Chain A
Amino acid sequence: MSLAHRIIPCLDTDGERVVKGVNFVALRDAGDPVALARRYNSEGADELVVLDIAASRDRRPTFLETIRKVATELAIPLTAGGGIRTLDDARAVVRAGADKITVNTAAVLRPGLISELSEEFGSQAVVLAIDAKRDVECWRVMTTGGRVSTDLEAISWATKGAELGAGEILLTSVDRDGTQSGFDVALTAAISKEVMVPVIASGGARWPQHFAEIFCEGAADAALAASIFHDAIQSIRPLKEFLASQNIQVRLPC
């Protein structure tokens, strides 16, 4: 008996519609966030993430309205983020119905934001999203939707983020994102074994075996995927049944 490994669908939105792309580019429409949220809630998702990947100021009210509508559909936790730069941005997202907020680029630019959020909402509500890309001798932290390289190395940034008050790390492999070639097991294991907070692995999922690998060898606490769920290539309940058959703890029945 132990904590269940979580399966988390992710809705990348332009504020209003779910969009998808490969390696963070070439976006196309993938559906209505509210309809997808309803479906995942009933199919046994353990949590839902909704991101505003456009994160433009003038679309903000639209995104908050999306969060409100999605939250109404859910009896599971909701994480929201994309473009959160200040405590006020985070308050608006929480007020709209998010249980957790995720920060990425703004935290790299100003790490103190993590502490501010953690003091206001508690560390259980603060998710540090890290986009990592394999470099010569390390994993490099990328910002701005995976396009801009930084001086930060992913393992030490994750450790620092947890020290500053992040209660969870959402770790995306920029190399694997959208490729459906499997999660980055080495990256995830390196970070999960180093930090003392839960790690959500993201980027590259396609087959049930990929999820089994990331939980067993990657030591991930949760696994996130987007298009394979949106396109019904993989549905959540059969995926969990497969994992249970591999003796991986998941929440069933759900």
Chain B
Amino acid sequence: MNISLLDYGAGNLPSVERALQRLSAKTERISTSASVAKASALILPGVGHYGALMRALDRDGLRQSLIAALERGVPFLGICLGLQALFQKSEEAPDLQGLQILPGSVRVISGAVKLPHMGWDQVQSKGASRLLNGIDSGAYFYFAHSYAVPRIGEDLTPETRATCSYGFEFVAVTEKENIFAVQFHPEKSGDAGQRVLENFLRIAA
């Protein structure tokens, strides 16, 4: 099983690659729609600006091939911006469209808190999660972001598997069939993060 890492220039790709290699996974970097179409498991890492990611996906038909892969059932893990990309749109780049796989939008974190949300924070379980299998609710993960998908009112979207609260309560883990995503950085989150990646590798195997 080869894990294809979608390389659009994100700074955290090498870290994700190293973390997977520590788990003895085979990885490859891909950047074309043709290689996305052939991928058997996909990871979209991402840090930085939402606009930079969405514009990169709009080059060379990557957006279409990525959506097609998700619909085909290819196991997918989105990390940080890779989670945000799955939603409708983001306040960080209001003119651009997200992949629109999941309902909800990305907003700037608001409340009396410092930004970026930087460091180790606790993730609260909101139901059975394949990615969080074997990890206690309340475990710490490493976050580095200023935007997130907030919980609106009482309801969480059914895809939400865990949340984190900083300024507002937001989606930390989301799962929908073959599509998995986390707002934190599992590649930087010590043993708990390694477990998340292991769980994804098991799902993808």
Contacts of A6 in B (CB 8 A): 119-120
Q: Assess whether A124 is in contact with B47, with CB atoms less than 8 Å apart.
A: yes
Is there a chain B Cβ closer than 8 Å to A122's Cβ?
yes
The total of chain B residues at the interface (CB under 8 A) is 36
Q: Is the C-beta of A136 less than 8 angstroms from some C-beta in chain B?
A: no
Known: A75-B188, A76-B142, A97-B18. A122 touches B47 (CB 8 A): yes
| Closest chain A CB from B112 CB (angstroms) | 10
A145 smallest CB distance to B (angstroms): 26
Q: Is A177 an interface residue (CB 8 A)?
A: no
Structural contact, B144 and A4, CB atoms closer than 8 A: no
- Mostly helix, strand, loop or mixed at chain A's interface? loop
List residues of chain A with CB within 8 A of the CB of B12. Answer: 99
Contacts of A222 in B (CB 8 A): 119
List the A side residues contacting B14 at CB < 8 Å. Answer: 71, 95, 97
Asked if B87 CB lies within 8 Å of chain A CBs, one says: no
Are B146 and A221 neighbours in the complex by a CB distance under 8 Å?
A: no
Binary contact track A41-76/B, C-beta < 8 Å → 1, others 0? 100001000000000000000000000000110011
Q: Does chain A have a CB within 8 A of B121? A: yes
Please tell me which one of the listed residues B48, B119, B191 contacts residue A198 in the complex, with CB atoms under 8 A apart.
B119
Q: Is B11 within 8 A of A71, CB to CB?
A: no
Which of A2, A75, A254 is most buried by chain B, counting CB atoms within 10 A of its CB?
A75
CB nearest neighbor in B for A197: B114
Q: Does A123 contact B140, Cβ atoms closer than 8 Å?
A: no
Chain A residues within 8 Å of B144, by CB = 77, 99, 124-125, 167
Q: Judge if B49 is at the interface, Cβ distance under 8 Å.
A: yes
**Residues in A whose Cβ lies below 8 Å from that of B145:** 124
Chain B interface, DSSP helix/strand/loop, else mixed: mixed
Interface string of B1-40 (1 = CB under 8 A from A): 0000000000110110011001000000000000000000
Asked whether B88 is an interface residue with its Cβ less than 8 Å from the other chain, the reply is: no
Complex Cα gap A198–B11 (Å): 21
In the bound complex, CA of A89 to CA of B133 (Å): 41
B66–chain A nearest beta-carbon distance, Å: 22
Chain A residues, Cβ within 8 Å of B119: 3-4, 6, 46, 198, 221-222
Within A76-111, which residues are at the interface with B (CB < 8 Å)? 76-77, 94-95, 97, 99
Residue from A1, A121, A124, A168 within 8 A of B122 (CB atoms): A1
Say if the beta carbon of B96 comes within 8 Å of chain A. no
A171-212 interface with B by 8 A CB criterion:
196-198
Q: Does A38 contact B (CB under 8 A)?
A: no
Interface residues on A, range: 20 to 34
Query: Complex Cα distance A95/B11, Å?
Result: 8
Q: What chain A residues lie within 8 Å of B47 (beta carbons)?
A: 121-122, 124-125
Contact of A3 among B19, B117, B189, B193 (CB under 8 A): B117
Are A75 and B120 in contact (CB-based, < 8 A)? no
Is B115 close to A, CB under 8 A?
Answer: yes
- Does the CB pair B15–A254 fall under 8 Å? no
Q: List residues of A (116-135) whose CB comes within 8 Å of B's CBs.
A: 121-125
Bound-state CA distance A221–B145 (Å) is 16
B116 interface hit (Cβ, 8 Å) = yes
B190–A77 touching, CB < 8 Å: no
The answer to whether B114 and A221 touch across the interface, beta carbons within 8 angstroms, is yes
B18 touches A71 (CB 8 A): yes
A residues in contact with B68, CB < 8 Å: none
* B166 located at the interface, meaning its Cβ lies under 8 Å from any Cβ of chain A in the complex: yes
Q: Which of B11, B114, B124, B188 contacts A76 (CB 8 A)?
A: B188
Which residues, 60 to 118 on B, are CB-close (under 8 Å) to A? 114-118
Give me the interface of A with B, judged by CB distance under 8 Å. Answer: 1-4, 6, 41, 46, 71-72, 75-77, 94-95, 97, 99, 121-125, 167-168, 196-198, 221-222, 251, 254
10 CB contacts below 8 A, A to B, read A1-B122, A71-B18, A75-B193, A97-B15, A124-B48, A124-B116, A124-B118, A124-B145, A124-B146, A254-B190
Return the 10 tightest CB-CB contacts between A and B, nearest first. A122-B48, A124-B144, A4-B120, A251-B140, A251-B120, A124-B116, A77-B188, A167-B116, A3-B121, A75-B190
